[in-house]
Amino acid sequence: MRLFYAIMVPQEIQEQLAPIQKHLRGNWRPVKPDQMHITLAFMPQYPEGKSKPLLELGDRISKARDSFDIRLRGTGYFPNEGSPRVWFVKTEAPELQEISEALTSQIDYPFEDKAFKAHITLARKKGPAPRVPPQVFDLSWKASSFVLVQSNLKLSGPTYKILKTFKFRDFGQ
């Protein structure tokens, strides 16, 4: 099963990001606002019924951290602007890298082998499509928790099921 740890984007920020997706043309597939998140660690093929260590790890890490601010400033492309496949929002918060490293270094299972780059995916390109001009904004929110999510791929796009929410120390357990 596909699992990932993530910080979900709060609804008030989703509502501010969703309108910029209206700039998309061609074969871009926008991410549904309620699925917007910052992936902290991704496990593309985790064994069924073996999530207990992941739940315990999430508890340990969340109890050792306080909430923090995440700032959003503008958009970018992966892997590059010349040949984009993903349109995303840049995120700023050093805590995201720290949590990602804590998660991936404390469990004996292979996580996706990509360098961590905190972002919120707005759309994925599925064929020829024009780039969207850079979008600039000034948004932020206080992250109070992260989640463990099960992702199921379907023809209509992925569906997400939150398996557990891990609240940071100052937001209680």
pLDDT tens series, the chain, 173 aa: 999 999 999 999 999 999 999 999 999 999 999 999 999 999 998 888 888 999 999 999 999 999 999 999 999 999 887 888 999 999 999 999 999 999 999 987 778 878 899 999 999 998 888 888 899 989 999 999 999 999 998 887 889 999 999 999 998 75
Distance, in Å, from the CA atom of 62 to the CA atom of 144, rounded to the nearest integer, reads 9
Distance, in Å, from the CA atom of 62 to the CA atom of 66, rounded to the nearest integer, reads 8
Pick the catalytic residue from 119, 123, 147, 168: 119
Residues contacting 163, CB < 8 A, separation 6+: 3, 51, 55, 147, 148, 149, 150
Is 119 one of the catalytic residues? yes
Domains recognised in the chain with CATH numbers:
2-167 (3.90.1140.10)
Is 37 one of the catalytic residues? yes
Q: Which two tokens stand for residue 116?
A: 């961590």
